[in-house]
């Protein structure tokens, strides 16, 4: 839900200030009811909003992917003044928001959209869209520890679902390993906590895939629009729901 004047301004009706005047002058209706005060909120995806009897244009739907860098927060604002993802979207005027979160120090594939339905579908816990990460950890985990992660491991918020886990690279000199892990859930700090549970601290974490979508050649800190086919494929992956995973 957003304030009506903000919705009108985002739909390109006029400036926010001018939209306030339109509301006060009785030109705006929400679901057939005239609104003449400024506190009213609405949801442009659900509510029918008109100005002088004409429906406002719905905002163009945007679907972006970004190769997020470390040290960026996936929120719309940060009271501490840290960098936020929209700082990396030059040329995008629409307000887009991240589909799920990546930690401040996690890098890699982040989807952004202004399509609430798309975002809900892809982040809903019953839709297990696989997400693949490369986790560089301190020490080299034993195969049996990785098997535990694969089968499911007890975290403080319950057992994790089965995951796919493989060695990607082992640096015996530095005593570090990079493990590829595909999870079908999206709990808070899940990958970091899974490795903590086998006593290996994650020192670098990068998401490299969301469903079948990979980062490909997208440079660090860069973004691009998804193709219509990529959007379709992500929706199809989400709609498959948990059936695939529970077989
Ligand atoms: N798992 C984590 O621990 N952090 C992320 O940012 C994403 C998945």
* 103 catalytic residue (yes or no): yes
pLDDT digits (tens, 9 = 90+) for 141-196: 999 999 999 999 999 999 999 999 999 999 999 999 999 999 999 899 999 999 99
Compute the chain's Rg from CA coordinates. Answer: 22
Q: Whose CA is nearest to atom 7 of ligand 1?
A: 102
pLDDT band at 59 (very low <50, low <70, confident <90, very high): confident
Report the separation in Å between the CA atom of 196 and the middle of ligand 1, taken as the mean of its atom positions.
12
Give all domains of the chain, ordered by start, each with its CATH number. Answer: 2-55 (3.10.290.10), 63-125+213-246 (3.30.70.580), 131-210 (3.30.70.1560)
Which of 188, 205, 207 is the pocket-test mutation for ligand 1 (most atoms within 8 Å of CB)? 205
Q: Which of ligand 1's atoms lies nearest the C-alpha of 103?
A: 6
pLDDT digits (tens, 9 = 90+) for 222-234: 999 999 999 999 9
Kindly report the pTM of this predicted structure. 0.80
243 burial class (0-12, 13-18, 19+ CB within 10 angstroms)? exposed
**DSSP letters for 58-102:** PPPP-EEEEEEPSS-B-SS--TT---BGGGG-TT--S--EESS--
Give CA separation, 18 vs 62, 113, 216, in Å: 26, 27, 44
pLDDT band at 240 (very low <50, low <70, confident <90, very high): confident
pLDDT digits (tens, 9 = 90+) for 99-110: 999 999 999 999
Q: Whose CA is nearest to atom 2 of ligand 1?
A: 189
**DSSP letters for 19-45:** HHHHHHTT-EEETTEE--SS--EE-TT
Q: Would you state the pLDDT for residue 241?
A: 60
Query: What is the C-alpha to C-alpha distance for residues 23 and 1, in angstroms, rounded to an integer?
Result: 17
Report the separation in Å between the CA atom of 82 and the middle of ligand 1, taken as the mean of its atom positions.
19
């Amino acid at each position: 839900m957003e304030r009506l004047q903000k919705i009108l301004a985002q739909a390109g009706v006029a400036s926010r200030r001018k939209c306030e005047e339109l509301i006060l002058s009785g030109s705006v209706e929400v679901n057939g009811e005239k609104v003449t005060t400024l506190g009213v909120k609405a949801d442009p995806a659900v509510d029918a909003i008109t100005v002088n009897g004409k429906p406002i244009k719905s905002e163009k739907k945007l679907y972006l992917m970004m190769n997020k860098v470390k040290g960026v927060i996936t929120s719309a604002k940060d009271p501490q003044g840290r960098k936020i993802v929209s700082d990396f979207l030059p040329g995008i005027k629409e307000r887009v928001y991240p589909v799920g979160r990546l930690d401040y120090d996690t890098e890699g594939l982040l989807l952004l959209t202004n399509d609430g339905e798309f975002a809900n579908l892809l982040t809903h816990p019953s839709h297990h869209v696989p997400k693949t990460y490369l986790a560089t950890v301190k020490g080299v985990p034993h195969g049996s520890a990785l098997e535990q992660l694969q089968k499911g491991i007890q975290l403080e918020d319950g057992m994790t679902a089965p995951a796919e886990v493989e060695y990607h690279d082992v640096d015996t000199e530095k005593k570090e390993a990079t493990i590829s892990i595909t999870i079908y859930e999206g709990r808070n700090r899940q990958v970091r906590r899974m490795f903590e549970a086998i006593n290996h601290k994650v020192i670098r974490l990068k998401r490299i895939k969301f469903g079948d979508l990979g980062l490909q050649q997208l440079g660090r800190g860069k973004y691009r629009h998804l193709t219509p086919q990529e959007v379709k494929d992500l929706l199809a992956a989400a709609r498959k729901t948990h059936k695939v995973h529970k077989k």
